[in-house]
Structure formats: C-alpha cells, structure tokens
Amino acid sequence: MRWWIPAAIVALAAMNIVRLQEWTSLDSMAKNMQTFFTGLVTSGLLIVWWLFLTKLRWRTRLAGFGLVVVCMVGLKQLIRIDGSINGGGRPKIVWKWTPRKSGNIAEFKTVPKLSFELERAIEYPGYLGSKRSGVIEGVELDSDWTAHPPQELWRRPIGLGWSAFAVSGSSAITQEQRGECELTVCYDLATGNRMWSHTNLVRFSEPMGGDGPRATPTFNDGKIYALGATGWLNCLDAVTGRKIWDYPTSKSWVIGTPAVRDGVVYVGTSDSARFMALDAKNGRLRFNFDAKAYVFSSAALAGDLAYVGDHNGRLYAVDVKTGKLAWQFQTEASKTDPLKVLKPDGALNQEAFAPVFGDFQDMYIDTWRFISVGAIMSSPAIDHGVLYVGSMDGNLYALQ
C-alpha cells in the first residue's frame, strides 16, 4: 500500500499551511487562497497515489475513487457558502438548510437624545476622508485604553454590507442591505437615530464577500452620492434624503466609491469595465472611458487628471475634461502576462477565465490569475505630488 506516501503528502501539506498562517507579511486573502490551493494539490496527489501507486486490484481502486466522488457530490448538495467569515477570503460554510442572512432587522427606532454634547464634528466626507488618505489631522485620542477605555455612547443594529461612513455636521451616512432593499441611511451622530433613508429595491449577493453594498457614500456640496452594489448611482439631498437624480452605471456589480470635485462625479464599474464621469447636478454622462477590465479602485483626483487602478495591472491617468487617456502605468507582471489572461490591449481574455469548478472555488482561481498580472484593485493616494498605489504583485508603487 505504501502508506508512507500519503502520510508524507499530508505532513507536507500541514507544514505548508502552518507556514502560510505564520507568514506575517502575507495578507489574509493570500493566506486563504494559498491554503485552498494547498488542499487542492494535496487532494490531487492523494488521488494519484490511490489510483496508481497502491498496487491494489483495479476494481478496489476504482471503487474507492468512485466513493470519493459520491461523497464530494453529496457534500456539495448539503453545504453552501454564506459569504465570508471576516472579509479576508475565508468562506463561511453552512448547511444548505441554514436560513440565509436577509439583513432584516427591527424597524428604525427613535431613542431620547443623550445627555451629552458632541464636540465640533470632523468633516469626513467619504471613503478615507477628504484627501483619500485615511488620516484625520488635528485630533488626539488617548492611547492608554487600560487607564482610559473608550465609552460606548450608543449602539444600533444595521443591515448587511461593507460600506463605511461619510460624516458631515451631525450626520453619519452609510449604505446597508435590509432584506431585498438596499438602503442609504443617515444616522444622527449624537443618538444613532435614523434621520432619513433612501431605498432601492435591489439585492447584491456574492459568495466571497456576502450580501450588500460595498461602496461608501460621498458628501459634497449638500448632496450625498451613493453607489449601490448593483451599479445604481443615487444623488440625494443630504438634509432630507430626497432623490435628486439617479443613474444606472452598468448591469455589473460595483465596489468603488464615487469621487466628486468641481461639479463632476467619477465612478468605476466592474463587469462592464468602465470609468465614467457624470454631471453632479443632473447626472448627465460627461465621458465613458473604456478601462478594459474590472475597476474596483476608487479614483484619486489631482490637477486635471483622475487616477484609477484596474484588474489588468494598469493604473490609468484620465483627463477629467475630455475622458481621454493621458498616460498609464503598467506592472511588469502585466507586461509579461505569464498565464495569458490579457489581450494585447489590456482587455480580459475570457477564454482564460473559463470556469473550472462552477462554484465559489473559481473565485480563488480567478484571484490567482489576477495576481499573475499584478492587478491594481487598491485605490491610489496622492501626497505632495507623489501617487502611491498597491498591486496584487505584492508591491507598493510610488509614481511621480
């Protein structure tokens, strides 16, 4: 039977998984993806051992292989993926009969105003703040939480999603999924009470990240610009939540947050591979740039250019007035394209993305494909004339 062979395969697999989990410089998504591939390779090697190296009768070998196939098919009928455990690419596996998270919670309730006064609110108008840097200047927080622990002021249940908050004045605005409704909700900072909400009758669901909107609303000039996960861009009155206009950016899912400047809204889309600009007053399309591949990146604006990353390993600098490409940066991995997942113009080679499992496992494989070209999923940041952006090739780039 040569039992030492499967024992060695399993031992090496276990050692590699431990190595991955202890690898401090590797992010959780990469750890989980490589752990998945370790399990996949291990399973393949064990099947090869069973079929060709055990020296059992072929009837026994085929019967054992058939039993494994039946168990795998049966298991697939019993379990399903219910989103991600922590947003790091580790799927949450549940029984198929487990009720799906709907996001439905109790109706918005109003509570009495608390007996404290908020200090002057910090303007945080959208994703990563006003400069898209994630830094709030001029604020000091006590770092000794043992001696001076933070005090909880209020707590409210909310729906599903990954949206952060835009903060202006006494308002905190976010997006969430409640049942079949995708909401943009404004909460009062002092109480957590709902001040207003806007509803779109749509629901986005995806096995790796789960249900609900991905983007964060953007506040600008008395208006809220909220981009839902199914591609609906809403312009809302920041005081009342009244819809001023909306625009269906695409029929694909959307992750990036709107960027707004000088009366123009900039958004990127996923499956339709577009980076577009719209008039902030009426939602009319100003330009529609063909990005060739998925855009998860939220644009950074500086001077006459908008900067946005792309899954094809390119960073585009687009003229904000014309929508024309001013210049582009391309990772070395994208230039060599070892797995041939790109066409010469940077568009995705759909033949290279043919499904393998027909299930969530294909998302891991696609992630590996995008790593091979150094996909730029992150959002660029600009400081003192230097643009910084991270790539899935493991590098942080600084561009003059």
Q: Average the pLDDT over 113-132 and give the result.
A: 72
The span from the CA of 367 to the CA of 84, in Å, is: 15
| Per-residue model confidence (pLDDT) at position 118 | 59
Q: Average the pLDDT over 293-308 and give the result.
A: 95
Tokens describing residue 323: 């929508």
- Whether residue 1 is predicted with pLDDT greater than 80 in this model: the reply is no
| Per-residue model confidence (pLDDT) at position 35 | 87
pLDDT in tens, 243-258: 999 999 876 778 899 9
The mean pLDDT value of the chain amounts to 89
What Rg value do the Cα atoms of the chain yield, rounded? 24
Instruction: Walk me through the domains of the chain, giving residue ranges and CATH numbers.
Output: 4-95 (no CATH), 100-133+156-257 (2.40.10.480), 284-400 (2.40.10.480)
The span from the CA of 381 to the CA of 400, in Å, is: 12
Running DSSP on this structure, what letter comes out for residue 68? H
- Whether residue 116 is predicted with pLDDT greater than 60 in this model: the reply is no
Q: Average the pLDDT over 356-378 and give the result.
A: 84
Lowest-confidence region among 51-60, 105-114, 238-247, 384-393 = 105-114
- Whether residue 11 is predicted with pLDDT greater than 80 in this model: the reply is yes
Q: Average the pLDDT over 118-136 and give the result.
A: 79
Neighbour-count burial of 1, counting CB atoms closer than 10 A to its CB (0-12 exposed, 13-18 middle, 19+ buried): exposed
List Cα–Cα distances, 316 to 157, 216, 257, 301, in angstroms.
39, 22, 17, 12
The span from the CA of 87 to the CA of 85, in Å, is: 6
- Whether residue 328 is predicted with pLDDT greater than 90 in this model: the reply is yes
| Per-residue model confidence (pLDDT) at position 130 | 83
Tokens describing residue 44: 């393949």
Element (H, E) at 181: strand 181-188
Q: Average the pLDDT over 167-190 and give the result.
A: 93
Q: Average the pLDDT over 78-101 and give the result.
A: 78
Nearest Cα residue to 277 out of 297, 293, 258 = 258
> Are 211 and 160 contacting, i.e. CB atoms less than 8 angstroms apart?
yes
| Per-residue model confidence (pLDDT) at position 253 | 77
pLDDT in tens, 268-289: 998 889 999 999 999 999 999 9
- Whether residue 349 is predicted with pLDDT greater than 90 in this model: the reply is yes
E strands, 280-321, are 285-290, 300-302, 305-309, 314-319
Element (H, E) at 247: strand 243-248
The span from the CA of 59 to the CA of 345, in Å, is: 52
The span from the CA of 354 to the CA of 249, in Å, is: 26
Neighbour-count burial of 212, counting CB atoms closer than 10 A to its CB (0-12 exposed, 13-18 middle, 19+ buried): buried
pLDDT in tens, 301-313: 999 999 999 999 9
| Per-residue model confidence (pLDDT) at position 271 | 83
Beta-carbon contacts of 99 under 8 Å, excluding residues fewer than 6 positions away, are none
- Whether residue 333 is predicted with pLDDT greater than 70 in this model: the reply is yes
Q: Average the pLDDT over 165-186 and give the result.
A: 93
The span from the CA of 232 to the CA of 252, in Å, is: 10
| Per-residue model confidence (pLDDT) at position 111 | 60
Confidence of residue 23 (pLDDT cuts 50, 70, 90): confident
| Per-residue model confidence (pLDDT) at position 109 | 65
- Comparison of pLDDT for 160 and 319, the residue scoring more: 319
Q: Give 306's strand partners.
A: 301, 318
Beta-carbon contacts of 270 under 8 Å, excluding residues fewer than 6 positions away, are 250, 252, 253, 254, 255, 294, 295, 296
- Whether residue 197 is predicted with pLDDT greater than 80 in this model: the reply is yes
Name the residue type at position 359.
D
Q: In the structure, how many helices (H) and strands (E) does the chain have?
A: 5, 23
